[in-house]
Amino acid sequence: MVTVVKREQKIIRILRIRVVDKPGYLGKIATRIGELEANIGDVSIAGQGQDYLIREVSVSLKDEAHLQRIVDALSNLDGVTVEAVIDPVEQAHRGGKIGMKSRAPLDSITEMRKIYTPGVAQICKLIHKDLSQSRNFTCIGNSVAVVTNGTAILGLGNIGPVAGMPVMEGKSVLYEQLVGISAIPILIDSLSVEEIVNTVKGISPTFGAIHLEDIAAPECFEIEKRLSDELSIPVLHDDQHATAAVVLGALITVSQRSGFNLQDCRVGILGLGAAGAGIAQLLRDFGVKEILGADLREDACERLKQQGGTPTDLTGVMQSSDIVIATTGVPGLIKPEMVQNGQVILAISNPDPEIDPEVAIANGAKFAADGRTINNALAFPGLFKGALLAEAKEFTSDMKIAAAQAIAGQTRLDDLVPSILDKTVHEHVATAVSLAYTQRKN
């Protein structure tokens, strides 16, 4: 049995403390922090003087009020002064998380003549004769545009593209670190489907693929479809399809360990926006015969019907489903008493799930997980790397299913899915995706 415990939300702060350099003072600080129910992380020396040390102490806290109690208590200790409180998240983002860097050396006139004028003209003429050579002699074949209009950023909603930039930068970091792709955020300040489509089409020659990110439903569906139809490079809305691939990968693992046939299970989906719709479609493509769904929006329920699913309500999903997948963004929507014995529950809204996995398990669920486990970052790097390797023109259902199967195949021990930071996982996903496209094309 796999129990995934949702951890209580915490804030992390680094306290820069000036303390007398004598035995016992660090112990007093640690004791006081522990008495006030905060957890200590890293402790380091940031500076020193003749009779004092500057220590930086990382602490995990409940909230800002808890932080203030810690600061006040430490300030009342003899020989201790809290000089600064540092937010490590702000510190990590300051100045941005990404930047354009050259791969070519520029340490001599000879090198400059090779990479710029006059040598570059040779490559321009070569590509002019055969545009496919751009994949060999430019970064296009390994570049992805991460495009957003900021209308569905995380669980924050429509906060605009500029406020969403940290998410796009984060995606770019994952691409570079996990699969070696150069990903560039593209912010489009518009709610117009036509303007977004035309903008992406206009910049598309720069990239080998288009990653649509945090664009609200229902506009995201039309934008993805039009771009997929009108461009000759692969386009994928991450919130729909990468999330779906990870969900399917987790369910394949659950089915293998439990001995049931996933295709014969009745699957209920709570929330039929981008993620819910993508999950429903991929499960249908995988062969799941019966899918129920609930959403307050009539257009979302109508989409499910068009996909071959059956609209119902919250009670209908919870009472009739073997597997429940929740993407509503409504914390606590699933009450403990709604859980049926033996159900699989994936409450994947972030940052707060519809039910805590540990609560679901305690009330009879066989498997349970939240969005910290079922994270689309397990799928999108390998999906795009595989598409670029295959020089794909589109993303197909076969490619998404191949990604899910690769994720399940790399899951070890009692985990539901593998570690996001395991680069081997992303390599396997990329290989499987590339092979799925190549085999279909042939």
- Catalytic residue ranges: 116, 171
User: Angle at Cα 149 formed by Cα 166 and Cα 197, nearest 5°?
Assistant: 135
The secondary element (H helix, E strand) that includes residue 400 is helix 397-409
Pairing of strands 367-370, 2-3: parallel
- The closest of 248, 176, 243, 246 to 213, measured between CA atoms, is 243
Q: How many CB atoms lie within 10 A of CB 347?
A: 30
DSSP 335-392: -GGGPPTT-EEEE--SSS-SS-HHHHHHTT-SEEEETTTS-GGGTHHHHHHHHHHTT-
Residue at 97: amino acid letter: K
Tally of CA atoms within 13 A in the half-sphere of 218 that contains its CB = 8
What are the start-end ranges of the E strands in 164-318? Answer: 182-187, 209-212, 235-237, 266-270, 290-294, 310-311
186 token code pair = 């593209």
What are the start-end ranges of the E strands in 21-135? Answer: 39-48, 52-61, 80-86
Residue at 270: amino acid letter: L
